[in-house]
Structures are given as C-alpha cells and as structure tokens.
Structure 1
Amino acid sequence: MADPQPAAEPAAPVRVDTWIWCVRLTKSRSLAASACRAGHVRVNGERVKAAQQVKPGDEVRLFHAGRERVVVVRRLIAKRVGAPVAVECYVDNSPPPPPRTDALAMGVRDRGAGRPTKRDRRAMERLQGRMR
C-alpha cells in the first residue's frame, strides 16, 4: 500500500490564524482569529494580528483553553490535515498540561430535603475548600 501523501507545502507564506487551525491547535479558524485579536497569540515573542505571516523556524505561543502552547513552525501548510500529519508540521515545546484534579467531594443532599441549614452550608463549603 502507498503511504498517504502529506499536503503540499504552499509557495506563499501562510497567515498565522490559518496555520494554527491547519495544525489543529484550535478547533476552528474563527477561534484562531479571535485568539489573535485578543492578544493570545505571539510569534517570536510579539503579539500578532491574524493576518501576520509565519515561516519555518518561527516560535508561535498560543494561550487557548486555559493552557499555553509553545510550538516552533517546522513546515507550512494551508489546508487542514489529519492529526498525524499535523504533528509533523511543528515541534511542540509546550509545558506539560496541569494535572487533572478529580471532582471535589461535594456534599450531596437528599432530594426534597429542603434548604440546607447554616451548619449544612458550612460543612459543604468545608468539603469544597472554600472555608477559611
């Protein structure tokens, strides 16, 4: 069987919002453009607009979904590709994601038990870690 051919590299430079979407760092191009407008995208340390061009060797920092992604552009692509091909287009230097915390223990009240008393509320807050 023949290996699937990766997308051909474009001759022209690619917009940063398009590239971020193509390599699957964001779910949609509009989210990538919104991140650029909000100042959550930096190329080589500088905030950029969505139309900024990227080239191989550029460091792209994206703060998205509560996490910072730091990637170095290895290859330019102009069309969205599958995840295995997308990973080949950048070098991921991101810090490891924060550990997932289990759901905090919550005080569960029986249905129809009425409003919690002040004592019950304080016990629930203590369980949730909101008490001083």
Structure 2
Amino acid sequence: MRLDKYLKVSRIIKRRTVANEACDAGRVEVNGKVARASYDVKVGDVIKVSLGSNEREYEVLEVLEHALKEDTTKMYKSL
C-alpha cells in the first residue's frame, strides 16, 4: 500500500492530500530515510511524522486496505 494511503487509512493523518503534501515536503520518514508518497509500506517499517512541532513515530503492525475506526489501533504501535 502507498505511504500516503496508509497514513490516511490508519488515521495517523486525517486526509490523503495532507499526507501526500507532508511526504512531498520531506516531513515523513520511513526507517530513517525521507520517503515519497508512493513508498510501499511493509509490516515492520518505522514511520516518523513531523507536523508542526509534533514529532511522532509509529511501527507498522498490519496493512489493511480498509479499516474501521476500531481497527486502526491494530495497524500501528506508537513508539
């Protein structure tokens, strides 16, 4: 799954366009490297998102095409 879509489906970022813009601006890193929106997310990846003064890290536990609000917590773990 594309990185921008994963960020939206997992509800880490609310909108896919915002996720895409954050990737283009270099504010999203995967495994320590700046990642493009087209990066293919895999289980075990560590995603670091820097928006404003907030900087958060998540470990990918599961990749789901569609997720209900209750299922999003199973998709990642905050570090």
TM-score bracket for this pair, using the shorter chain length: over 0.9
RMSD: 1.1
Alignment partners' CA distance in 1, 2:67 and 2:17 = 14
The equivalent of 1:21 in structure 2 is 8
Letter in 2 for 1:47: V
Residue 81 to residue 19, structure 1, CA distance change in 2 (3 Å): same
Letter in 2 for 1:43: V
How many residue pairs end up in the alignment? 79
Map of 1:1-132 to 2, 5 A cutoff? 14-82=1-69, 84-93=70-79
Long gaps (5+) in structure 2: none
Alignment partners' CA distance in 2, 1:66 and 1:28 = 19
TM-score by length of 1: 0.57
Shift of 1:18: 0.5
Decide which structure has the larger Cα Rg and report it.
1
Question: Are the aligned partners of 1:21 and 1:80 in contact in 2 as well (CA < 8 Å)?
Answer: no
Letter in 2 for 1:92: S
Long gaps (5+) in structure 1: 1-13, 94-132
Alignment partners' CA distance in 2, 1:49 and 1:72 = 17
Superposed CA offset, 1:79-131 (max 9, x none): 2531x2101111111xxxxxxxxxxxxxxxxxxxxxxxxxxxxxxxxxxxxxx
Alignment partners' CA distance in 2, 1:26 and 1:80 = 14
Structure with the higher fraction of residues in strand conformation: 2
Letter in 2 for 1:50: A
TM-score by length of 2: 0.93
